[in-house]
Amino acid sequence: MDSANQDDRLHRLQLLKDRLENYKIKNELIMKRELEEEAKALEREKVKREQEARLEAERKILIEELQKAKLQKAAALSAMNQAPQPQTVLQLQLELQQQLQRQQQQQPQQQQQQQQPLVSFGYPAAITEKEAINWLKHGF
């Protein structure tokens, strides 16, 4: 019975040894997974910080651009308000008078051009209806 007990103890020791080895393997796998997850979490945090920094930089740039646009708009408005409006009206009146004068000068020229008989291909352009009918009937 001694040898049976000893075999039983050896068997039991082998089982415990196998269990211990399995626990070690599982523990290594768990540790490896945890390290990988920590590395991924650190990488995500790094990417998140970089993205936040990039967004903050873009936000600052946009704020600066908005401020510049406001300043330009304010400058344009103040320039418009500072310009004397009666002078603008006077300028418009002057431009209208100049346009009227040009039109009046062009009208006599156009009338003179209309009064002159036009010659087209050696034939007078101002012909009567009878002449046109005769030409069509008998040829040119």
Q: According to the model, what pLDDT value does residue 92 have?
A: 80
pTM score, whole prediction: 0.40
Q: How far apart are CA 38 and CA 32, in angstroms?
A: 10
Residues whose CB is less than 8 angstroms from the CB of residue 117 and which lie 6 or more positions away in sequence, other chains included: 124, 125, 126
Q: How far apart are CA 46 and CA 56, in angstroms?
A: 15
pLDDT above 70 as % of the chain: 80
Kindly provide the b/e burial profile for residues 31-64, where b requires at least 16 CB atoms within 10 angstroms of the residue's own CB. eeeeeeeeeeeeeeeeeeeeeeeeeeeeeeeeee
30-89 pLDDT per residue, tens: 999 999 999 999 999 999 999 999 999 999 999 999 999 999 988 888 877 665 555 677
Q: How far apart are CA 55 and CA 53, in angstroms?
A: 5
pLDDT tops 60 at residue 117:
no
Q: According to the model, what pLDDT value does residue 114 have?
A: 54
